[in-house]
């Protein structure tokens, strides 16, 4: 299905067209100006697919992409330039460099919850590193996928970058082609399929996956502040954010107070009936709606719980007294506007719950004591941590973003995007005018003595 376009991109890449600084800069500037001029269409598509308000869509997608490209444009010259390496004395007269080179053809799978960001941000990384790329946005956010295809395919040479729309059939056909790198964003189960297909040709992958990101609220935390941030982070995009807090681990002493404030903030943000709020999003489709609705039977609903399948509405919901820590709501990633509260008395219990699950994408800590903070930091392995706030660690180009273990592999954002799509080639240049003969046979005892002097 995609044999022709892959062959075209291979030719384009091997001609070397994508490698120069000027080409990369021109393409990034073009991408930036297209995203800018398509802002209205992008915001409209996100309203249609997710009922997302324009401010959220601008901040989390359009503005995010623009500022990342601006940052890349400022730094790309430095990132691309060969880096001289200092060698030991035994290499006297020899020069060494590390030269970043593009990997070649990249296949990028985006997903639907932030469809522009998760397709175009990796694409900007692929361009900055000098690659060709095929982007496959998620079919679930259909209007956004159409716009992504239009803005890229109307403006770029398909032999350089192109968008292929479609679902499972198209994804499988793409995976059957040979790429030099696969960048996948989505759920861990599809991530496994992608990785096993890639393994057939030893193609490297970056997997940006999900998982159950915990949020600990300790007894000494600023409870009101924690409640405000939790209510914001969990319910924007109706909880369909890979780094949203998945479940709360709350100290017994402050549980009731936290719940009261979360309730207040939900009302403050979305009114008495969030179904009528212009700022509250909808679930992407019936499949996810039904999956989420089943979670509502996992414990006592203390806030929200209302649903409407006709318009894919699920109210901001808090669940207490989860019937079992082995139930689906505590085993699967929730990825929707439902948050269970698990109380603890001893911080060791909270940490052991986190450690009983696969390593999460993110972890959040609200606490005022550095000993408790360090106790958690030293024992919880995850992609990133944010202390006394939520999700801010993922929205800056200054910090690499990605998971660990089942939440993924590989990093991007800022310089990390450039690195992810590059091969760092080591180059050593020996002197022509002289050579140390020590290494050649026949070996002398004195040579071994000299060698031992240097190699110890
Ligand atoms: P998904 O993972 O099912 O879909 C992602 C893509 O995979 C789509 O483009 C789809 O067409 C494709 N696909 C589907 N079947 C395939 C197959 N058999 N072979 C190859 N490709 C196939 O989407 P989802 O599960 O609804 O997405 C939500 C998940 O994505 C959550 O786990 C979330 O945490 C994760 N996510 C992670 C990040 C991140 O940056 N780490 C960002 C957003 C979402």
pLDDT in tens, 381-426: 999 999 999 999 999 999 999 999 999 999 999 999 999 999 999 9
pLDDT under 50: residue ranges of the chain: none
Q: Which atom of ligand 1 is least distant from the CA of 242?
A: 34
Ligand 1 atom 9, closest CA: 138
| Closest by CA position to 109, among listed 42, 182, 168, 178 | 182
pLDDT of residue 153: 98
pLDDT in tens, 202-225: 999 999 999 999 999 999 999 999
Q: Is 17 exposed, middle or buried (0-12, 13-18, 19+ CB in 10 A)?
A: middle
Ligand 1 atom 37, closest CA: 209
pTM (two decimals): 0.95
pLDDT of residue 31: 98
401 - beta bridge partners? 412
From 186, 194, 241, 361, the mutation candidate for ligand 1 (largest count of ligand atoms within 8 A of CB) is 186
Q: State how far the Cα of 19 lies from the Cα of 17, in Å rounded to an integer.
A: 6
pLDDT of residue 1: 86
pLDDT of residue 437: 86
Cis peptide upstream of residue 442 (ω within 30 degrees of 0): yes
Instruction: Please give the angle made by the CA atoms of 221, 223 and 224, to the nearest 5 degrees.
Output: 140
pLDDT of residue 64: 97
The catalytic residue positions are 208, 242
CA of 185 to the centre of ligand 1 (A): 6
364 - beta bridge partners? 215, 386
DSSP letters for 249-263: EEEGGGHHHHHHHHH
Q: Could you count the other beta carbons within 10 Å of the beta carbon of residue 21? A: 12
For residues 387 and 373, is the Cβ–Cβ distance under 8 A? yes
CA of 72 to the centre of ligand 1 (A): 26
pLDDT of residue 248: 98
CA of 436 to the centre of ligand 1 (A): 56
As for ligand 1, residues whose beta carbon falls within 6 Å of it are 109, 111, 113, 118, 136, 138-139, 167-168, 171-172, 175, 185-187, 190, 193-194, 208-210, 242, 333, 335, 361, 403, 408
CA of 186 to the centre of ligand 1 (A): 3
Domains, the chain, ranges and CATH? Answer: 3-209+406-425 (3.40.605.10), 214-402 (3.40.309.10)
DSSP letter assigned to residue 394: G
From 139, 187, 403, the mutation candidate for ligand 1 (largest count of ligand atoms within 8 A of CB) is 187
Q: Which atom of ligand 1 is least distant from the CA of 333?
A: 32
pLDDT of residue 90: 86
Q: Which atom of ligand 1 is least distant from the CA of 408?
A: 41
| Closest by CA position to 126, among listed 243, 2, 13 | 13
- Per DSSP, the three-state class of 134 is strand
Helices (H) and strands (E) in the chain, counts: 17, 18
pLDDT of residue 348: 97
Provide the residue count of the chain. Answer: 456
For residues 315 and 304, is the Cβ–Cβ distance under 8 A? yes
pLDDT of residue 83: 97
For residues 267 and 224, is the Cβ–Cβ distance under 8 A? no
Q: List strand residue ranges (DSSP E) for 199-299, in order.
A: 205-208, 214-217, 247-251
From 118, 183, 190, the mutation candidate for ligand 1 (largest count of ligand atoms within 8 A of CB) is 190
CA of 427 to the centre of ligand 1 (A): 38
DSSP letters for 301-350: EEE---EEGGGTEE--EEEES-S-TTSHHHHS---SSEEEEEEESSHHHH
CA of 387 to the centre of ligand 1 (A): 28
């Amino acid at each position: 299905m995609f044999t022709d376009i892959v062959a075209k991109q291979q030719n384009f890449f091997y001609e070397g067209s994508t490698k120069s600084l000027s080409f990369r800069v021109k393409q990034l500037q073009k991408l930036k100006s297209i995203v800018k001029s398509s802002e209205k269409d992008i915001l409209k598509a996100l309203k249609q697919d997710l009922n997302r308000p324009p401010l959220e869509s601008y901040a989390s997608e359009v503005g995010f992409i623009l500022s990342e490209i601006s940052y890349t444009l400022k730094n790309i010259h430095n990132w691309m330039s060969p880096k001289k390496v200092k060698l030991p004395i035994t290499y006297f007269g020899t020069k060494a460099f590390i030269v970043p080179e593009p990997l070649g053809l990249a296949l990028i799978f985006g997903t639907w919850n932030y469809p522009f960001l998760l397709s175009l941000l990796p694409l900007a990384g692929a361009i900055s590193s000098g690659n060709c790329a095929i982007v496959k946005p998620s079919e679930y956010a259909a209007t956004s996928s159409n716009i992504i295809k239009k803005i890229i395919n109307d403006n770029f040479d398909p032999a350089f970058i192109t968008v292929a729309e479609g679902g499972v059939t198209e994804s499988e056909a793409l995976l059957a082609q040979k790429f030099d790198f696969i960048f996948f964003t989505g759920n861990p189960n599809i991530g496994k399929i992608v990785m096993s297909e890639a393994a057939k040709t030893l193609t490297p992958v970056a997997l940006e996956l999900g998982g159950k990101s915990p949020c600990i609220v300790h007894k000494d935390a600023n409870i009101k502040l924690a409640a405000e941030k939790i209510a914001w982070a969990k319910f924007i995009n109706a909880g369909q954010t890979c780094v949203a807090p998945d479940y709360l681990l709350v100290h017994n002493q402050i549980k009731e107070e936290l719940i009261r404030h979360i309730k207040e903030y939900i009302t403050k943000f979305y009114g008495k009936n969030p179904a009528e709020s212009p700022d509250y999003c909808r679930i992407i489709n019936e499949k996810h709606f039904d999956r989420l609705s089943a979670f509502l039977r996992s414990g006592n609903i203390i806030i929200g719980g209302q649903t409407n399948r006709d318009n894919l509405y699920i109210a901001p919901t808090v669940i207490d007294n989860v019937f079992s820590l082995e139930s689906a709501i505590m085993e699967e990633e929730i990825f929707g506007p439902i948050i269970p509260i698990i109380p603890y008395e001893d911080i060791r219990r909270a940490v052991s719950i986190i450690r009983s699950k696969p390593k999460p994408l993110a972890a959040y800590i609200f606490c005022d004591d550095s000993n408790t903070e360090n106790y958690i930091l030293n024992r919880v392995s995850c992609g990133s941590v944010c202390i006394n706030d939520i999700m801010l660690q993922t929205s800056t180009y200054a910090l690499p973003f990605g998971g660990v273990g089942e939440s993924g592999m590989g990093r991007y954002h800022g310089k990390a995007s450039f690195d992810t799509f590059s091969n760092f080639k080591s180059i050593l240049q020996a002197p022509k005018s002289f050579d140390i003969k020590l290494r050649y046979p026949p070996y002398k005892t004195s040579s071994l003595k000299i060698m031992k002097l240097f190699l110890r």
